[in-house]
Amino acid sequence: MGACHWKCCKDVDHNGTNANGSPSVDDPASSSSIQRIDDDPDWYLPSRKYQAKIDELILQTLKVIGKIGIENPPEVLLKLHTIADQEEGWIKVINSMVSVIPIDNPLGPAVIVFLLDDCPLPNKDTVIRLCKMFDLSKESSTKGRRTPCQQCNMCIILGLLAEKLAGPSSVAMLTQGTLEYLVANLPKVGYFAAASFMSFQQCRFNFGNKSTFLFPPSREFQCFNEHASLTDEDRIVLPRHIQMEQLRNILVQEDSCTLCFDSKAEVTLRPCGHSQARCDAYSFESVRCTFEVTSGVWYYETKIRSAGVMQIGWATKKSKFLNHEGYGIGDDEYSVAYDGCRQLIWHDAKSEDPPNEGMWHPGDILGCLLDVEARESVFYLNGRVVAVTSHLFNVNLPPGERHIQMEQLRNILVQEDSCTLCFDSKAEVTLRPCGHSGFCKKCCVMISECPMCRAKISAIEL
């Protein structure tokens, strides 16, 4: 996975130890000792050499994640990327993320996603080693109920790796112990364990040989799928002993409608109106309405079910809705959004602080008003104005009709004797020695070869 430039790997003496006396990761004798430490059930606790330093870097990333820019990443991210460039360093970064990221911080899952996206992907052997270190089983999940933070972070990491490494690595990860671990975690960390199930199901080989453990969806479960807007292909498959009432308590609340696990470019409004939105999944999801407006005043409300990272607002049909490539509402010039988790207004992938502080919490109501005539959009949090912006109207609204634009192009007259390069000046030059013509004097001054035959131009003749 590359060379590690962290201090623990640099200061190595001839005896296979570094400057602080701990074994080097490159020393064969130390590799077995590291493996024995990894087999410790409390491996994720920050008690090893250099682990505290990485823990500190993870916590610093948690503080700056809301202000990160692609052009100038903070130094802490560069350090973590350098550490994770080697297999041992990657294991230590995963170690720290499981250990120190708090479950009550809405930016915690975003940090895990960001770091796993930025760091090199592990190979199959490293993934298998990580699963052995996690000691995934029903018993370990029961013992870990005193530390729900670590269990939540483990489920997020497992789901992300299963999604990114769909194939042999994903199949190797989904053992009987992994299944039992995720099922035992459903009552505790809910959506994170269920989302991991969904990630593993992307590879059809994962559930092909698990028939003795899993069961085909019942009629009652199919009704739940219809209510939760899940397609037949996106169906969650659970063991027999998980009761439907328990599943409903985990995933479905009264008078609510869960949008979906997957990112979809367009969602048709149901009778419930999708009046509630939740961001329990570890990834950044995006949805948009299929109904456009060109005049009048429009307003909708969104009930915040979780205090996660969400960008909610308005967009035109020219918006780049490429959520898999990182584009969402507020990430281009044709959309504007409010993020109450990071308390930022987003437009054209740039953020600014709102005039009034407005950090949302579960149960809050975010109102979004669009006044086309007044050319402004207003964001409310629990009835209080958070921000008023006109970013969306800096572009021409409504967009020009295509047939009008095409008619204007047809009406542009081009003289028959115009230059074939610029179509601006009159063609009055013949090139020598090839004899090709149809070019103006201005264009011929800027070229050294004939555009038609690529012959060298020795002279031009008017």
CA distances from 387 to 215, 286, 334, 380 (A): 50, 22, 18, 7
Residues 191-240+275-396, CATH architecture: Sandwich (2.60)
State mean pLDDT over 167-195. 75
Q: How far apart are CA 331 and CA 372, in angstroms?
A: 21
How distant, in Å, are the alpha carbons of 129, 280, 294, 326, 400 from that of 406? 60, 46, 22, 32, 11
Which residue in 260, 313, 267 sits closest to 287, CA to CA? 267
Position 380 scores a pLDDT of 92
For residue 431, the one-letter residue type is L
Write out pLDDT tens, residues 17-44: 343 333 333 333 333 333 333 444 443 3
Q: Cα angle at 196 between 110 and 118, to 5 degrees?
A: 35
List, in sequence order, the alpha helices (H) in 190-342: 191-200, 219-227, 244-251
Number of alpha carbons in the 13 Å side-chain half-sphere of residue 111: 28
pLDDT at 78: 80
pLDDT at 55 (0 to 100): 83
Per-residue pLDDT of 388-433, as tens digits, reads 888 767 654 455 566 677 777 777 767 778 888 888 888 889 999 9
CATH of region 414-461, choose from 3.30.40.10, 3.90.1570.10, 3.40.50.720, 3.60.110.10: 3.30.40.10
- What gap in Å lies between CA 195 and CA 425, rounded to an integer? 63
Q: Tokens standing for 333?
A: 């010039």
Q: What are phi and psi of 350, to 5 degrees?
A: -120, 145
For the chain, what are the domain ranges? 42-185, 191-240+275-396, 414-461
Q: Are 385 and 317 in contact, with CB atoms under 8 Å apart?
A: no
Distance CA 265, CA 324 (A): 10
283 is written with which tokens?
């990834």
Cβ count within 10 A of residue 128: 15
What are the structure tokens assigned to 174, written together?
Answer: 């989904």
* Residue 325 DSSP label: G
Which tokens sit at 118? 């930025």
CA separation for the pair 378, 373 (Å, rounded): 13
Q: Concatenated DSSP letters for 236-264?
A: ----TTS-HHHHHHHH--TT-----SS--
SS3 (DSSP) at 449: strand
pLDDT over 70, % of the chain: 62
Name residue 24's amino acid.
S
Highest mean pLDDT among 21-30, 176-185, 218-227, 400-409: 176-185
Higher pLDDT, 201 or 223: 201
- Report the SS3 class of residue 276: strand
**In angstroms, rounded to a whole number, what is the distance separating the alpha carbons of residues 369 and 380?**
8
- Tokens linked to 136: 């995934």
Q: Does residue 303 have a pLDDT over 50?
A: yes
437 within 8 A of 457, measured Cβ to Cβ = no
> What are 41's two structure tokens?
């059930």
pTM exceeding 0.75: no
> In this structure, which amino acid lies at residue 162?
A
Residue linked to tokens 């005193």: 146
